[in-house]
Amino acid sequence: MVTLTLLRAFHRVAEAGGVTAAARAAAVSQPTLSAQIRALEAASGASLFNRRGRRISLTPLGQSLFAITARLFAAEGEARALLAGGDGGGGGFLRLAADSPVHVMGALAALRRRDDGVGFSLRTGNSAEVVRTILDFEADLGVTARQTSDPRLHCRALREDRLVLFVPRADPWAGRGEVRLAELATRDLVLRERGSVTREVFETRLGEAGVRPRRLVEVETREAVREAVAAGFGVGVVFAAELGADADLHALAVADADLAVTEYLVCLEERRRQPLLRRFLELAAAAAGS
Helix (H) or strand (E) segment spanning residue 34: helix 30-44
Dihedral sign computed on CA atoms, order 288, 140, 15, 126:
negative
In a domain, 102, yes or no: no
Last residue of a domain, one of 86, 102, 123: 86
Measuring CA to CA, which residue among 68, 112, 75 is closest to residue 279?
112
Distance CA 55, CA 53 (A): 6
- On whether residue 276 sits in a domain, the answer given is no
* pLDDT per residue of the chain (290 residues) written in tens, 0 to 9: 889 999 999 998 988 888 888 888 778 889 999 999 999 999 989 999 998 877 788 999 998 898 888 878 877 766 765 565 544 455 577 888 988 777 778 777 777 777 767 778 888 888 888 988 888 878 889 988 888 888 989 998 888 889 999 999 999 999 899 999 999 999 999 998 887 888 889 999 999 999 999 999 999 888 889 999 999 999 999 888 888 767 789 999 999 999 998 889 999 888 887 777 888 888 777 766 55
Q: Please, which residues bridge with residue 94 across strands?
A: 120
Please report whether residue 203 resides in a domain: yes
Range of 194's domain? 160-260
What contacts 278, CB < 8 A, 6 or more positions away?
Answer: 87, 88, 272
- Same domain membership, residue 253 and residue 167: yes
Question: How far apart, in whole angstroms, are the C-alpha atoms of residue 274 and residue 88?
Answer: 8
Asked if residue 113 belongs to a domain, the reply is no
| CATH code (residue 191) | 3.40.190.290
Q: For the domain that residue 81 is a member of, what is the CATH number? A: 1.10.10.10
- Residues 251, 165 share a domain: yes
145 in any annotated domain = no
* Structural domains of the chain, count: 2
Q: Do both 166 and 256 map to the same domain?
A: yes
Residue 228 falls within a domain, yes or no? yes
Q: Report yes or no on 242 lying in a domain.
A: yes
Output the pTM of the full model: 0.62
Euclidean distance between CA atoms 37 and 6, whole angstroms: 7
Q: Is residue 95 part of a domain?
A: no
